[in-house]
Amino acid sequence: MANTTATILDGNKIAAQIKAEMAEQVQELAAAGLRPGLAVILVGEDPASAIYVRGKVKACEQLGIHSVELKPPASVTTEELVRTVETLNARDEIDGILVQLPLPSHVDSQKVLLTVAPEKDVDGFHPLNVGYLSTQRPGLVPCTPAGVIEILRRSKIPMEGRNAVVIGRSDIVGKPVAMLLLHNNATVTICHSKTRNLPEVARQADILVAAIGRPGFVTPDWVKPGATVIDVGINRVTDRNLFDKLFAGDAAREKSFTEKGSTLVGDVHPEAADVAGAITPVPGGVGPLTIAMLMANTIKACRMRRGRR
């Protein structure tokens, strides 16, 4: 088992700080007769999606945010979902609308997401919010990338002038996190499956962000000694051989894997903690920040919609 030398960046602790700040803001808004409202649309019976939505609704309850959960059946059509979103757009007590992904394959996800009013788009996916982000105008920023920046900021890890490498170019994480790092004056390289000499590029990073959805893909030799590693990946490992490659000698993980038949791992090999200066764990790293930033976005949407910036 690796003897961890890196500082562990505790996402649960940072998320709790943010939620405490948000609870104060909710009380402040309540004193002015306002209550932020979030609507979540969960299509069908996907167990993973149901767990995520439960976590979001629970966070709303903790903070005093009004939440509405809509559960159309898996057979719902694109047109029906579009109408549902349009109804929520028109409801004044709803400040944020979240469509839980993935949607069933017969549904046109892009069409549904584009229907969400930009001022209620708490996921930050609408092209208008993407444009606001790229031009540094006030808007709603995707939750996971915003959470990555909060981890760095609140852990006092400087971004200005640092080399940041982002592995992954998705619209949901890779591109927006690169943009946010750029706005914080980091020098940013975005890598992907076609990048040449990927390990070599990764080794140049003072801040390495892995967001590709491949378990343990970033091995210790990719990490510059002392670098900060932000692991956005959450992958469920059920294969015994892969488990042994990632966690050989880790008694606690072994016990859990034997009992449950699976374990969670990020996109970064656990032994990278031997080389990194600071690293986010999986679970308990970036994940909790995603929900905390969703709460922050709902409150921000409420303030912006009601002219209370």
Give the residue numbers annotated as catalytic, written as ranges. 56, 100, 123
In sequence order, which residues have a C-beta less than 8 Å from that of residue 20 and are 6 or more positions away? none
- DSSP 8-state secondary structure symbol assigned to residue 268: B
Backbone angles phi, psi at 302, to 5 degrees: -60, -50
Residue reference for tokens 């629970």: 58
Beta bridge partner(s), residue 264: 236
Q: Could you tell me if 27 and 71 are in contact, meaning their C-beta atoms sit under 8 angstroms apart?
A: no
Q: Which two tokens stand for residue 65?
A: 């945010």
According to DSSP, the β-strands at 235-237 and 263-265 are antiparallel
Please name which of 152, 40, 59 lies closest in space to residue 101, comparing C-alpha atoms: 40
Q: Which two tokens stand for residue 238?
A: 């059920």
- CA separation for the pair 256, 144 (Å, rounded): 27
If residue 291 lies in a helix (H) or strand (E), which one and from where to where? Answer: helix 286-305
30 dihedral zone (left: phi>0; alpha: psi -120 to 50; beta): alpha
